[in-house]
Amino acid sequence: MASVTSLSDSVQQHLASALTATRPEAAGADPLLRRSDRADYQANGILALAKKTKANPRELAAEVVARITTGDELIEDVEVSGPGFLNITVADRAITANLAARLADGERLGVPLKQDAGTTVVDYAQPNVAKEMHVGHLRSAVIGDALRSMLDFTGEKTIGRHHIGDWGTQFGMLIQYLFEHPGELAPAGDVDGEQAMSNLNRVYKASRAVFDTDEEFKERARRRVVALQSGDKETLDLWQQFVDESKVYFYSVFEKLDMEIRDDEIVGESAYNDGMPETARLLEETGVAVRSEGALVVFFDEIRGKDDQPVPLIVQKADGGFGYAASDLTAIRNRVQDLHATTLLYVVDVRQSLHFRMVFETARRAGWLGDEVTAHNMGYGTVLGADGKPFKTRAGETVRLEDLLDEAVQRAAEVVREKARDLTEDEIQERAAQVGIGAVKYADLSTSPNRDYKFDLDQMVSLNGDTSVYLQYAYARIQSILRKAGEVRPAAHPELALHEAERALGLHLDAFGTTVFEAAAEYAPHKLAAYLYQLASLYTTFYDKCPVLKAETPEQVENRLFLCDLTARTLHRGMALLGIRTPERL
Ligand code: ARG
């Protein structure tokens, strides 16, 4: 299905042909159309064209204006302003007719499909086995899930990879500790996922303490890693128990997050174990990696640490063990060669950006990442507490993700209870879950991913301001109006003159397709969030200024209901792309 041309695209095309007609030698010149507060749009492209063709910009602008058709079909009025800008006012008729086409477009609401769609492997939501999830794992899950939906919606094929930490030194430590302290871990099946998880967490801490203080234990733990990596049965069995219990736990947290995680996409570090020796061999044979003090490492001229010493990427340790880098390098071979990825996207804490720089560079040198494959680490910032320091409990401990989510839902329940008094307790809990989890996701997604943000539940569930609750209320309010309208159906009436607030809302609705498309391409969910917030604000103004069910004529009632309807559908779609629900009633 061909996508609907937005009004701004039509205006842009009209201007481009006027430019070409005026200066045929400059065919293809960009009119540079932008929304403007002086008029509906402003076009600044004439300045560049004037420079190029050595013309006087204002005179050139006047020539272009003479070639623009005005009337009630598309452009109502165009004026030259400033040094040679064009201020453009579009016709009310054009706004309404275009929005009607968008509604007729069904689910897509005018969002174009990518021409050259490829396959993006999205590496996100990667907690660590035998460890509890904390607020740090929230961002990767929430951002990754939103980016994935957005990319899918523009036609890109996405494959998820949850590169869970289920391999490496810490398992040697953990398994060795359990061998030496039998009885510390309850037999599998005796406890539920959450209990097993807190057991594992306790054992993890205990083993860590020994590991950090006892050199001999450290050595035994190192040997245990080698046993694990070479497939020793006893070791592997205990390891598998951790993994299974941890997965049960992960699923319960992701469910709380209202996020679907597929089992076949949980492909942790261990999955690349068998390929790691080959990765090392290939790197060594091609000279990309070299032996240094027994270890196999890759050096980079530009990456240096203290004292200007080069910082290497360690592919294989001197004791033969493979680590984090080896699994990531092997994963790249798999994702490019077997999954045929054209883009590798890693939604991982910005503190790992150096790791990814080195891994990508190594893979490029080895020829595993060709020119046709893009690799990108969408490094996100830290979640901060009210004090501006990394988020911790009052006692200074890491906050468990489940506790945090439970608290958000509890706060949301207060808000919901306050607003709607005639609900049953079950209804309150259901809505509270959608409001509370939505609030947490939105607070995360509405900040540019690379920035830190403060985790502030009071602000997150506030009804005023840039919050998901505000957007959810706008949506629910529209649904209530549509219900009240009863038999009267929304219908577009392009012949009607529009109120200023209707025009502003309509022009913003027109930008949905471009916004989603660009936000997906730029991996910028916050741009979609900002768009939706502005949509809800413009809707609020419209609702204050323009009576809907009590409008002057039946046509005007229908046309305003139509604007309500399209706004609701746009909010619903946009929020869904961010992974946030829009309850029908609140
Ligand atoms: N499990 C890792 C951590 O918690 C994140 C994994 C990121 N993905 C990757 N391919 N390295 O730090």
Confidence at residue 211, expressed as pLDDT on a 0 to 100 scale: 94
Tell me if 505 sits within 8 A of 92, measured CB to CB. Answer: no
Confidence at residue 32, expressed as pLDDT on a 0 to 100 scale: 95
- Please state the φ and ψ torsions of residue 472, each to the nearest 5 degrees: -65, -35
Query: Given the CA of residue 324, which atom of ligand 1 is nearest to it?
Result: 11
**Does position 506 have pLDDT exceeding 60, yes or no?**
yes
pLDDT band of residue 170 (cuts 50, 70, 90) is: confident
Closest C-alpha to 578, from 434, 463, 474: 434
Instruction: Please indicate whether residue 165, judged by its CB atom, sits closer than 6 Å to ligand 1.
Output: yes
Average pLDDT over residues 387-397: 85
**CA 450 to CA 448: how far, in whole Å?**
6
**Domain map of the chain by residue range?**
7-90, 120-150+270-377, 169-264, 401-577
Instruction: Please indicate whether residue 272, judged by its CB atom, sits closer than 6 Å to ligand 1.
Output: no
Instruction: Please indicate whether residue 346, judged by its CB atom, sits closer than 6 Å to ligand 1.
Output: yes
CATH superfamily of 7-90: Arginyl tRNA synthetase N-terminal domain (3.30.1360.70)
* Helix locations, 353-467, DSSP H: 353-365, 401-419, 425-445, 457-460
CATH 1.10.730.10 fits 401-577, yes or no: yes
pLDDT tens sequence across 480-496 = 999 999 999 999 999 99
Instruction: Please indicate whether residue 166, judged by its CB atom, sits closer than 6 Å to ligand 1.
Output: no
Instruction: Please indicate whether residue 163, judged by its CB atom, sits closer than 6 Å to ligand 1.
Output: yes
Instruction: Please indicate whether residue 126, judged by its CB atom, sits closer than 6 Å to ligand 1.
Output: yes
Confidence at residue 191, expressed as pLDDT on a 0 to 100 scale: 64
Q: What angle do CA 305, 307, 313 make, to 5 degrees?
A: 30
How does the average pLDDT of the chain come out, rounded?
A: 93
- Distance (angstroms) between ligand 1 centre and the Cα of 170 equals 14
The protein residue whose alpha carbon is closest to atom 1 in ligand 1 is 165
pLDDT tens sequence across 45-59 = 999 989 988 999 999
pLDDT band of residue 1 (cuts 50, 70, 90) is: very low
Confidence at residue 27, expressed as pLDDT on a 0 to 100 scale: 82
Confidence at residue 189, expressed as pLDDT on a 0 to 100 scale: 63
pLDDT band of residue 72 (cuts 50, 70, 90) is: confident
pLDDT tens sequence across 409-428 = 999 999 999 887 788 999 99
- Give the count of alpha carbons within 13 A of 477, CB side only: 17
pLDDT tens sequence across 248-295 = 889 989 999 999 999 999 999 999 999 999 999 999 999 999 999 999
pLDDT tens sequence across 523-573 = 999 999 999 999 999 999 999 999 999 999 999 999 999 999 999 999 999
**Does position 162 have pLDDT exceeding 90, yes or no?**
yes
**Does position 2 have pLDDT exceeding 60, yes or no?**
no
Instruction: Please indicate whether residue 348, judged by its CB atom, sits closer than 6 Å to ligand 1.
Output: yes
pLDDT band of residue 336 (cuts 50, 70, 90) is: very high
Q: What angle do CA 127, 132, 138 make, to 5 degrees?
A: 50
What are all long-range contacts of 8-14, with beta carbons under 8 Å and residues at least 24 apart? 8/33, 8/35, 8/41, 8/510, 8/511, 8/514, 9/514, 10/74, 10/94, 10/98, 11/41, 11/74, 11/75, 11/88, 11/90, 14/68, 14/69, 14/74, 14/75
pLDDT band of residue 187 (cuts 50, 70, 90) is: low
Tell me if 283 sits within 8 A of 366, measured CB to CB. Answer: yes
Query: Given the CA of residue 161, which atom of ligand 1 is nearest to it?
Result: 10
Average pLDDT over residues 115-143: 93
The protein residue whose alpha carbon is closest to atom 4 in ligand 1 is 127
**Does position 392 have pLDDT exceeding 60, yes or no?**
yes
CATH 3.40.1010.20 fits 120-150+270-377, yes or no: no
Tell me if 352 sits within 8 A of 326, measured CB to CB. Answer: no
